[in-house]
Structure 1
């Protein structure tokens, strides 16, 4: 972490430059946003849903889309993204999981863990 701070705040600019471009974004959040997340790590977190035999193919596809998004972006900053494409092309989470809202809540908790770790 110290090396990244030196790189960003001394070698490439100043702390003020960083704040101008990235505001109060923690370095760890910025890095995760830039490089994304390892697919295996994301799959491991969501495996209990992906392997859940009680979920139908559309529900599993929705979870796979979440994994893809997190792999690409590192985390989901705002859950509202789940109301946009490609998610909405599968259906809204409330409609997809209407009979399994407990699972939907667990999925959202898992989504939040990626943000909380930063």
Structure 2
């Protein structure tokens, strides 16, 4: 129990530190959905250490969050403009229904808050509150595009050599 409490304290301290250093280039790239380099990842790790994170905390982050980039983005979120931009190609030249627009807005809100999103979340609340499943409001090809966008946003938080 104490370990979880210590890790939550680390998360909180890291969030405060990162918000105080939002102008750092690596952090800006992360928030703006720009591809991270290995050097950016080194800088982000340095920031976690500066926030009070120890080796144990950082190792735990690497294991549990699929890397430092995704962990840090989960703390600082994704810039709303960057989230909107990720969907601009999907939305361009289309007329969507009110439910489809609301669904996309929910995805953008989730990305803005949490920084990334697993495609499986599309089947959970609050998305399932809007439609029983995404297939009921989107064609299969559109769903494939949405999943591709979600994966692309996730992948920018990991340097290319580390993308699975």
TM-score after normalising by structure 2: 0.61
Report what 1:109 is aligned to: 148
Report what 2:79 is aligned to: 38
Cα distance per residue 1:55-97 (max 9 Å; x no partner) = 2111121111111100100001x32211111100111111111
8 Å CA contact 1:8, 1:15 repeated in 2: no
- Matched ranges for 1:33-72 at <5 A: 33-72=74-113
Relative distance call for 1:48 and 1:6 in structure 2 (3 A) is closer
Q: 1:12 aligns with which of 52, 57, 75?
A: 52
Relative distance call for 1:61 and 1:49 in structure 2 (3 A) is farther
Which consecutive unaligned segments of at least 5 residues does structure 1 have? Answer: none
1:51 shift after superposition:
4.3
Report what 2:130 is aligned to: 90
Which consecutive unaligned segments of at least 5 residues does structure 2 have? Answer: 1-39, 158-164
SS of alignment partner, residue 85 of structure 1: coil
Quick one: distance in 1 between partners of 2:103 and 2:53? 41
Cα distance per residue 1:10-59 (max 9 Å; x no partner) = 76243223224x25242211110001000000101112334443321111
1:7 shift after superposition:
4.1
The number of aligned residues is 114
Quick one: distance in 2 between partners of 1:115 and 1:101? 21
More displaced stretch, 82-91 vs 51-60: 51-60
Quick one: distance in 1 between partners of 2:83 and 2:43? 26
Please identify runs of 4+ aligned residues in structure 1 that moved more than 6 A: none
